[in-house]
Amino acid sequence: MASYLVTGGAGFIGSHLAQALTARGDAVRVLDNLTSGKMLNLQAARQGKGEFSFIEGDIRDLQTCQQAMEGIDYVLHQAARPSVQRSIENPLATHAVNATGSLNLLWAAQEAGVKRVVVASSSSIYGDVIPESAPKTESLPPNPLSPYAVSKVAMENYCVAFHKVYGLETVRLRYFNVFGPRQDPESPYAAVVPKFLFALDAGETPTVLGDGLQSRDFTYVDNVVAANLAACTAPDAPGLALNVAAGVSHNLLDLLRVLGEFLGKNGKPNFGPARCGEVRSSLASLELTKRVLDYEPEVDFRQGLARLVELAHQGRYQD
């Protein structure tokens, strides 16, 4: 039985990781400051076969990171201050969590002699590419368009340095627009999928910022969980950055149309001004990830949205 630390484990993606780990019998420790994470999200993880423990604490505190690292084999680092818009409003807070907090975690991990650290990075570090339809490969140089993206580049650079200087095995997973149950639809910075889903279901008219033709590689959370678990033990993964996505891009009007189809609702939106710092198009190349992690996205765009709608209608969105 291996022991895992999941930072940000009470959040959307982190709670799914904790649930998958305890379900297969591993020991899981969650570190979360509950700023955006919720204890409700951890109910399923607590019910698994493996041991479960929780530390309420902040990765900006080195001593907390050191305490959380005791006896840990693998770290799945999901804790972050998300949202491009939040980073524009307060870049200092975003840097403090995503860059400095991640540095604390890496330092504590190498001190404790953990086997590997897998970190949640972001497709936002790529910025825009020309042509817009081109898949984003891991070899592209960073082109961050927001303080959030800059903070993720800084975290990645620390991962590279710790791997080279201290021999700490690090893997950087670049997430592309993850969606799934437990993703908070109420936050003012809510991701577009839950925001559109619950607006349509309530008979409201969703608001699209921009022309709606901005595209995203929407990725169901189960695919992300599988990639993280594989990244912990894949022999060729240390030192690499790997895209985690579905490998297919859809624009926001496509998203509304499909959600409207599943809900039996009119998916026509209102339009508002485009946001500064947002990437126009996002499509992942998965060639490297498939080869290194033996990764294959098992849940596609329509399947993921269908599952989400079904769970919401069953009252199981938080399960």
Give tens-digit pLDDT for 68-118: 999 999 999 999 999 999 999 999 999 999 999 999 999 999 999 999 999
In this prediction, residue 134 carries a pLDDT of 86
Look at residue 84 and tell me if it is in a domain: yes
Q: Is residue 49 part of a domain?
A: yes
Residue 153 inside a domain? The answer is yes
Q: In whole angstroms, give the CA distance from residue 70 to residue 178.
A: 30
Catalytic residue among 74, 126, 148, 175: 148
pTM above threshold 0.85: yes
Residue 52, in any domain of the structure? yes
Residue 190 covered by a domain:
no
| 133 pLDDT higher than 80 | no
Asked whether the bond before 194 is cis by omega within 30 degrees of 0, the reply is no
How far is 229 from 227, CA to CA, in rounded Å? 6
pLDDT of residue 130: 73
Q: Mean per-residue pLDDT for 55-59? A: 98
> Is 210 inside any structural domain?
no
- Range of the structural domain that residue 35 is part of: 3-181+219-245+283-298
189 in active site: no
pLDDT computed for residue 276 by the predictor? 84
How far, in Å, CA of 49 to CA of 269, rounded?
45
Instruction: Please give the tally of structural domains in the chain.
Output: 1
Quote the pLDDT of residue 74.
Answer: 98
Instruction: Please report whether residue 13 resides in a domain.
Output: yes
Q: Note whether residue 114 is domain-resident.
A: yes
Mean pLDDT confidence for 302-319: 94
Residues 251-309 pLDDT 10s: 999 999 999 999 998 878 999 998 887 888 899 999 999 999 999 999 999 999 999 99
- Phi and psi, residue 232, nearest 5°: -70, -30
pLDDT single digits (tens) 152-191: 999 999 999 999 999 999 999 999 999 999 999 887 767 8
- Give Cβ neighbours of residue 242 (< 8 Å, ≥ 6 apart): 138, 171, 172, 173, 174, 227, 231, 288, 289, 292, 293
Question: For residues 87, 88, 91 and 93, what is the CA-based torsion angle, rounded to 10 degrees?
Answer: -50
Q: What is the pLDDT of residues 38-51, one digit of tens each?
A: 999 999 999 999 99
Q: The CATH number of the domain where 115 resides is what?
A: 3.40.50.720
